Structure 1
Amino acid sequence: MSHVINYRLNQFSWAVAAIMFLPLLFTKGMFLDGLTYASIARNLNEGMGSFWIPSYTPYIHPEFYEHPPFSFALHSVFYRLFGDQAWVDRIYAYTMYGLSVLMIRRIWALFTPSVHRAWIPQLLWTLTPTVIWSHQNNLLEAPLSAAILCVVWLLIEGTLKRNYIWSALGGLVFFIALGIKGPVALFPLMTLPIMAVLYPEHRRAALISMLLMVLSFSVLFSYYYTYEINFSTFFNSYLNKQLFPTLLGNREQSGDALSSLIEITKQLALPMIVFLILRIRSGRVYVLRRESIFFFVLAICGSLPFLLMDRQHHYYFMPSMVYWMLGFAMLLEQSPYPWSIQRKKWVKVLSLTNLSLWLVGAVLSIYFSKSPSRDKHMIRAIEQIARNYPSQSVRIEAIEDSWELCAIGARYGKVYFTENTDVALYLVSETVAVPSNYVLVDTFNKFPMMLYKKTALE
């Protein structure tokens, strides 16, 4: 009976994901960064920019060096398959979620014979707020997390099973992970050193795996840097325009270590509460086994560097969250309670709950498809401009104060904003006076800006 219940709980973990993700599937509106990445991927599919020189808009980052291009290229494949639809962006991110879950389950199976309880880390990770938010908003952390999990799985698989071809493949996937968001993907390098310390019986295998992983990565990187001119150009531009200025504190500065520690604590609240409740209810001591220590140390390696940076956001910690959850899951699964309960009614309750969650998620996805999930009036204003003035650029006063507007314009209407005064259209706040050679051509419902058009030279 306990295996039947765990089977239903495995289904429940997917049903929870459905209720979290399906309602927003067909809606427009995402966080600024997700819209930006979606526009770049769409442009890449349509021939605007190239793999090593992606492009955002003709006026903002016409050559985009803020992040490496691997995720944009993969995302563009989804546009090639499904066309330029708003839901493609979330289909891409949700696919990355599925790949991450697959890797979580593969890693889980390497450390415990309780394969049927793989739903525990999956459910804990799925219910982590920053995980939900990152996938809903198409952030780079979604594909980054999937790639890093794949690297960790390949390295552990190659080491524990002495099949070093997996370790060499880990170097190739590590190259892809770095190609998604740069140095934030470095912490999987600590996987094998941590394993060598905690698992002395695998120390020699871990060393061989590490050498093969570094060798395969180095060969691949050296080849591209030596023979692919566009790669070396992009790499140098990325270092000089984005990475070094960020590390030196010359870019955006936000957040601090204390607020980030508080944020991490919030993300870990669920597993800690569950652990305390089960500890009290079961009446037995949970042993901190080396499996949990392994994942906790790896999670610290993925979280700690961000606490030392000038720019900190909660979603930066998302790729490391899965290792916290795996550590807690290893703690939770060691006790028979409550996973071995023998109650037939639980099977029926879980079956009905799973079906209900899927149905509610599907119904909500249809219901919410009628309206954007955020920035509703801004999106409708952009669509109105795109409909009435297709393929025309629009002037605004200050781009640095209108990043969200620029992102929505680029993604949902191919309306590109600029501060140049030589374009005919001019979008301005209702309270701002405009020059006499502009005439009002459009207003918007519940959007406090007005569109003017230049009629003559000043």
Structure 2
Amino acid sequence: MALKLPFTCCRLLGCFSAPAQILWMLLGIVLLLRVVWGAVTQSMFFDGLIYASLARNISEGIGTIWRPSFSDGLFPLFSEHPPLMFGMEALGFLVFGDSIWVEKTFTITVTLMCCLCFIGIWRRINEDDRELRPLGAFPLILALISGRVGWAFSNNMLEILVILFTLFAVYLIVTTYGRVETSFRSRLPALVLAGLAIALAFFTKGPVGLFPLATIGIYAMAFGRPSLKTAIVDTAVLLAVFLAIVGFLTLFAEPRGSMFRYIDGQVLSSLSGERGSRGGGLKGLWSMVRVNFWLIAISALLWGVAHAVARNAPSDNGFSIMPLPDNRRRKMIFFFLVGLSASAPLLVSPRIHNFYFNPSLFYFSAAISVASISAFLYLVSRAPDLTLKRLKMALGLAMTVSVVVVGASAGRPGPDRDLIADARTVASVICPDQQQGSCERGVLACGAAWQDTQLHAYLQRLHKISLIPADSIPDTVAKYDQMIGDESCTSEQLAPFAPSEATLSSYQLLVRHKPNQVDDCLLRTG
């Protein structure tokens, strides 16, 4: 039995064919280097650090899931996003305590679950295509290397949970309608689950998680089933489930207050341009094209190489870019329209970052894969057996090296080693014995230091220290004896402080003058 299971899995995945073996090995390397390598170091983008800090604080009773709190100085009441991801990670902190491996394990687990959901969608859509069905690793590789998908997974970004819930909703939909016509009663459980998944995506990052509501209609357009009436009714069920969950939560004061704060402080202000106008309009459209660059480039490269090989093989003169078979054309249209439904609505907002498009890239990669995978299969079929054997050996070696590199990086500071060291230095000065109750868990900051969100994030996540703005009310400023600053601070902010002996990479750690120091200074001046 122990030996039978791996062989059964291999048979189901089709990994005994040469193309599948190559693709699955490539996928393993991509996962290790694009996701796991970044995830196992201490370094993390400040958004991910903030989300992990919110979750840790919730688990320790600082704030609640509906009123999360980041620090005393920044986001004492965090309402930038819905709270589902913080609540889920808080469960991990409750069980395992305050460890960076909670968020690291969470991100890697979500990554693997997303991969499984995506492979499930690919296999369901290609149920009738024995050539494409076992090659789900191909579009998954393209998705993970495109845009900032791999980066988002390794940095604990909200998009990873949106991707998971929306992939699961789409999987339920394609599974339901991929079969012969079924009764409404038999479809209802899957529709309710899909509606729940859409609601979970919404409570992770708001309206950007609602695009699977269009998937039934898109499926009907692409494949001619279900009927228009069925598509309308079933979409109404999805919407009703979502609205019922939202409506139920609004009956309670805390969830209702959280939703209103998020809509007012984030959604409406972003749509109006108050929260910045970087990337909207034509810039947003260009960003959407740019994040698909690698998908298009790799597809074009495969076709170009395949044609070059075919020209030199007289027996293969018939190989060319011909119209896709009708069933594949329909699949490509389906994936493309789902990707468009996930990305085009973002263009309404004047505030767009390139990682906002991450959920759509899984579907764009699938659409391009349907069109280009035949070129890959052709190249593999033309390669000599010895070449394929050497390629597999090289990939096996690359995977081994990747495992060693990832293992050696686990727990190390990573790219942000200087900031992490700075945070440790600040913590050692403010609280030498590292006991939470024995010292003030805050430090003043002015100028560029106050604007350094990454510094905020590392101090709070690793040491539970808050940066306090130096231009706070005098009574608040007087509570703190240390300040982080540089030449961008004003002379009034710097006056009560002198440089400490601690050395930071980018800033100075200053300490408040003691009374006798001030007197000595006045005597020398006099």
What TM-score, normalized to structure 2? 0.80
Secondary structure at 2:64 match in 1 = coil
CA separation of 1:393/1:352 partners in 2, compared to 1, >3 Å: closer, same or farther? same
Match of 1:388 in 2: 429
Q: 2:254, 2:216 → 1: CA distance?
A: 33
Q: 1:234, 1:370 → 2: CA distance?
A: 35
Q: What is the CA-CA distance between 1:17 and the residue it aligns to?
A: 1.0
Match of 1:270 in 2: 294
Q: 1:234, 1:377 → 2: CA distance?
A: 36
Query: Bigger radius of gyration, 1 or 2?
Result: 2
Secondary structure at 1:374 match in 2 = helix
Amino acid at match of 2:514: T
Residues 159 and 206 of structure 1 are in contact (CA less than 8 Å); yes or no, is this contact kept in structure 2? no
Farther off after superposition, 382-391 or 431-440:
431-440
Q: 2:466, 2:233 → 1: CA distance?
A: 52
Farther off after superposition, 83-92 or 25-34:
83-92
User: 226, 231, 240: which is aligned to 1:215?
Assistant: 240
Farther off after superposition, 435-444 or 409-418:
435-444
CA separation of 1:445/1:239 partners in 2, compared to 1, >3 Å: closer, same or farther? closer
Q: 1:233, 1:246 → 2: CA distance?
A: 19
CA separation of 1:426/1:249 partners in 2, compared to 1, >3 Å: closer, same or farther? same
Q: What is the CA-CA distance between 1:422 and the residue it aligns to?
A: 2.5
CA separation of 1:80/1:351 partners in 2, compared to 1, >3 Å: closer, same or farther? farther
Q: 1:453, 1:353 → 2: CA distance?
A: 60
Match of 1:285 in 2: 321
User: 153, 157, 179: which is aligned to 1:139?
Assistant: 157
Q: What is the CA-CA distance between 1:352 and the residue it aligns to?
A: 2.8
- In structure 1, runs of 5+ residues without a counterpart are none
Q: What is the CA-CA distance between 1:24 and the residue it aligns to?
A: 2.6
Farther off after superposition, 112-121 or 346-355:
346-355
Deviation sequence 1:214-240 (CA, Å, 0-9, x none): 2222222222222x3211121122222
Secondary structure at 1:427 match in 2 = strand
Residues 160 and 202 of structure 1 are in contact (CA less than 8 Å); yes or no, is this contact kept in structure 2? no
CA separation of 1:286/1:153 partners in 2, compared to 1, >3 Å: closer, same or farther? farther
- In structure 2, runs of 5+ residues without a counterpart are 1-14, 308-318, 519-526
Match of 1:411 in 2: 461
Match of 1:55 in 2: 69
Q: 1:214, 1:95 → 2: CA distance?
A: 29
Match of 2:452 in 1: 402
In the alignment, is residue 9 of structure 1 matched against residue 23 of structure 2?
yes
Q: What is the CA-CA distance between 1:3 and the residue it aligns to?
A: 1.9
Residues 59 and 91 of structure 2 are in contact (CA less than 8 Å); yes or no, is this contact kept in structure 1? yes
Match of 1:36 in 2: 50
**Which runs of structure 2 are paired with 1:214-363 in the superposition (5 Å)?**
214-226=239-251, 228-280=252-304, 281-282=306-307, 283-288=319-324, 289-334=329-374, 336-338=377-379, 340=381, 343-345=384-386, 348-363=389-404
Q: What is the CA-CA distance between 1:338 and the residue it aligns to?
A: 3.2
Deviation sequence 1:393-448 (CA, Å, 0-9, x none): 11112576232221221112211011231222332335465666545444215333
Deviation sequence 1:117-153 (CA, Å, 0-9, x none): 1111111112214112212222111111111111111
Residues 27 and 86 of structure 1 are in contact (CA less than 8 Å); yes or no, is this contact kept in structure 2? no
Q: 2:282, 2:496 → 1: CA distance?
A: 52
Farther off after superposition, 243-252 or 310-319:
243-252
In the alignment, is residue 451 of structure 1 matched against residue 451 of structure 2?
no
Farther off after superposition, 125-134 or 280-289:
280-289
In the alignment, is residue 128 of structure 1 matched against residue 152 of structure 2?
no
CA separation of 1:151/1:85 partners in 2, compared to 1, >3 Å: closer, same or farther? same
Farther off after superposition, 249-258 or 40-49:
249-258
CA separation of 1:160/1:271 partners in 2, compared to 1, >3 Å: closer, same or farther? same
Amino acid at match of 2:445: I
Farther off after superposition, 329-338 or 141-150:
329-338
Secondary structure at 1:55 match in 2 = coil
Q: What is the CA-CA distance between 1:330 and the residue it aligns to?
A: 1.5
Q: What is the CA-CA distance between 1:254 and the residue it aligns to?
A: 1.5
Residues 443 and 484 of structure 2 are in contact (CA less than 8 Å); yes or no, is this contact kept in structure 1? no
RCO higher in structure (CA 8 A, sep ≥6): 1
Match of 2:84 in 1: 70
Match of 1:182 in 2: 206
Secondary structure at 2:379 match in 1 = coil
Farther off after superposition, 66-75 or 422-431:
422-431
Q: 2:25, 2:92 → 1: CA distance?
A: 27
Residues 430 and 482 of structure 2 are in contact (CA less than 8 Å); yes or no, is this contact kept in structure 1? no
In the alignment, is residue 192 of structure 1 matched against residue 216 of structure 2?
yes
Amino acid at match of 1:429: G
CA separation of 1:435/1:312 partners in 2, compared to 1, >3 Å: closer, same or farther? closer
Residues 5 and 347 of structure 1 are in contact (CA less than 8 Å); yes or no, is this contact kept in structure 2? no
Deviation sequence 1:156-186 (CA, Å, 0-9, x none): 2223333411111000111100000001112
Deviation sequence 1:341-379 (CA, Å, 0-9, x none): 575435533543443333322322344457532332222
Q: 1:223, 1:175 → 2: CA distance?
A: 12
CA separation of 1:386/1:124 partners in 2, compared to 1, >3 Å: closer, same or farther? same
Residues 37 and 409 of structure 2 are in contact (CA less than 8 Å); yes or no, is this contact kept in structure 1? yes
CA separation of 1:216/1:309 partners in 2, compared to 1, >3 Å: closer, same or farther? closer
Secondary structure at 2:73 match in 1 = coil
Amino acid at match of 2:272: L
Secondary structure at 1:338 match in 2 = helix
Match of 2:521 in 1: none
Q: What is the CA-CA distance between 1:60 and the residue it aligns to?
A: 1.7
Q: 1:45, 1:454 → 2: CA distance?
A: 38
Q: 1:80, 1:100 → 2: CA distance?
A: 24
Residues 67 and 238 of structure 1 are in contact (CA less than 8 Å); yes or no, is this contact kept in structure 2? yes
Residues 152 and 160 of structure 2 are in contact (CA less than 8 Å); yes or no, is this contact kept in structure 1? yes
Farther off after superposition, 23-32 or 438-447:
438-447
Residues 441 and 453 of structure 1 are in contact (CA less than 8 Å); yes or no, is this contact kept in structure 2? no
Q: What is the CA-CA distance between 1:26 and the residue it aligns to?
A: 3.1
In the alignment, is residue 88 of structure 1 matched against residue 144 of structure 2?
no
Amino acid at match of 1:385: V
CA separation of 1:5/1:155 partners in 2, compared to 1, >3 Å: closer, same or farther? closer
Residues 148 and 177 of structure 1 are in contact (CA less than 8 Å); yes or no, is this contact kept in structure 2? yes
RMSD of the alignment, in Å? 2.6
Secondary structure at 2:484 match in 1 = strand
Residues 134 and 142 of structure 1 are in contact (CA less than 8 Å); yes or no, is this contact kept in structure 2? yes
CA separation of 1:440/1:359 partners in 2, compared to 1, >3 Å: closer, same or farther? same
**Which runs of structure 2 are paired with 1:103-122 in the superposition (5 Å)?**
103-112=117-126, 113=129, 114-122=132-140
CA separation of 1:123/1:416 partners in 2, compared to 1, >3 Å: closer, same or farther? same
Q: 1:12, 1:80 → 2: CA distance?
A: 36
CA separation of 1:59/1:334 partners in 2, compared to 1, >3 Å: closer, same or farther? same
**Which runs of structure 2 are paired with 1:164-179 in the superposition (5 Å)?**
164=187, 165-179=189-203
CA separation of 1:439/1:222 partners in 2, compared to 1, >3 Å: closer, same or farther? same
Secondary structure at 1:443 match in 2 = strand
Residues 291 and 354 of structure 2 are in contact (CA less than 8 Å); yes or no, is this contact kept in structure 1? no
